[in-house]
Amino acid sequence: MGTPRIYVPDLEATEGALVTLDARASHHLRTVLRKTRGAAVRLFSGGDWEQDGVLVEIPRRGPVRVRVGAKHPVSRESPLRTVLFQAVSRGERMDFTIQKAVELGVSRIVPLWSERGARRLPPDRLQRRLDHWRGVAIAACEQCGRTRVPEIAEPREIGQITVSSGARALALLLEPNAPQGVPTASPAPRELWLAAGPEGGFSAAERDHLRAAGFVGVRLGPRTLRTETAALAAMAAVQILWGDLGDVDLQQVTPCPRPAAGEVDEDPLRRVPASR
């Protein structure tokens, strides 16, 4: 297991200073990871750097304190700025989508209220849900190595979404029946917006509004994907095309040969000798 990474908001400590961690980070180090005094940590605060740290106080209860060490430059952000407009989904699907989108390099997530998605929440419950989603994003950054925590905006109505003509953004609406796929031949956009629907997809009226707002409908292959799968498949696709998920030319990859008509596609596992 590597050195734990801890998000510390507004960290501006010089080398040798003592920093008191918040309740979330203290609980994670003490109860989840079971760290003890003298353990090494890495601190980050939203900039392009990390800072060494050593646990100096880790009481059974109360805040953990860290002595701050040297600062190191870090660059793990994608060159492609992506904004995910995700219809609020039910259960843990929204948590999963946020977590994995952060790992894939999303820059900002804007939850959307939709006809077929999760029901709207009163202000007090909505704030608790927002705090929870932002905690999911922070934990994902701690795990994947990012130093900039993506913004989780307050949920919006679909009617509030408009693609500004000056934004120079490519806006894609994910829908299984769209006539085209992701435009691979397009030049790299400065910013990319993805709109992903809830369980059951956006309604016809919602799709019409998003198209009128500047989104272009695209499909992700011939299969219908779940709400959490669609957003993440699209994130991976655009990061491969224009981001930082590698420089493999998928057009040059030779597909595996399919069996001719009448031939049996042999199970490759049958060719593996059984262990004794």
Residue 70 reports pLDDT greater than 90:
yes
User: Domain 81-248 has what CATH class?
Assistant: alpha beta
State mean pLDDT over 178-191: 80
Q: What is the pLDDT of residues 84-124, one digit of tens each?
A: 999 999 889 999 999 999 999 999 999 999 998 888 999 99
pLDDT band at 14; cut points 50, 70, 90: confident
- The CA–CA distances, whole Å, from 198 to 136, 170, 193, 226, 258 equal 19, 21, 17, 8, 35
Can you state the percent helix, strand and coil of the chain, rounding each to 5? 30, 20, 50
Residue 199 reports pLDDT greater than 50:
yes
Contact 180, 218 (CB under 8 A): yes
**Cα gap 87→119, rounded to integer Å:** 11
Residue 276 reports pLDDT greater than 50:
no
Which pLDDT score, from 0 to 100, does residue 167 have? 57
Q: What does pTM read for this prediction? A: 0.84
Residue 258 reports pLDDT greater than 60:
no
pLDDT band at 209; cut points 50, 70, 90: very high
Decide whether 5-73 matches 81-248 in CATH topology: no
Q: What is the pLDDT of residues 148-163, one digit of tens each?
A: 999 999 999 998 888 7
* Total residue length of the chain: 276
State mean pLDDT over 11-27: 90
The dotted CATH code for 5-73 is: 2.40.240.20
Contact 154, 113 (CB under 8 A): no
State mean pLDDT over 247-269: 53
* Better-scored residue on pLDDT, 22 or 256: 22
Which pLDDT score, from 0 to 100, does residue 90 have? 84
Highest mean pLDDT among 14-23, 175-184, 240-249: 14-23
The helix or strand, by DSSP H or E, that contains position 157, with its residue range, turns out to be strand 156-157
Which pLDDT score, from 0 to 100, does residue 268 have? 47
- The ranges assigned to domains in the chain are 5-73, 81-248
The runs of H, that is alpha helices, within the chain are 23-27, 93-103, 123-144, 204-212, 227-242
Q: What is the pLDDT of residues 30-69, one digit of tens each?
A: 999 999 999 999 999 988 999 999 999 999 889 999 999 9
**Cα gap 158→12, rounded to integer Å:** 38
3-state SS class at 50? strand
**Cα gap 162→205, rounded to integer Å:** 15
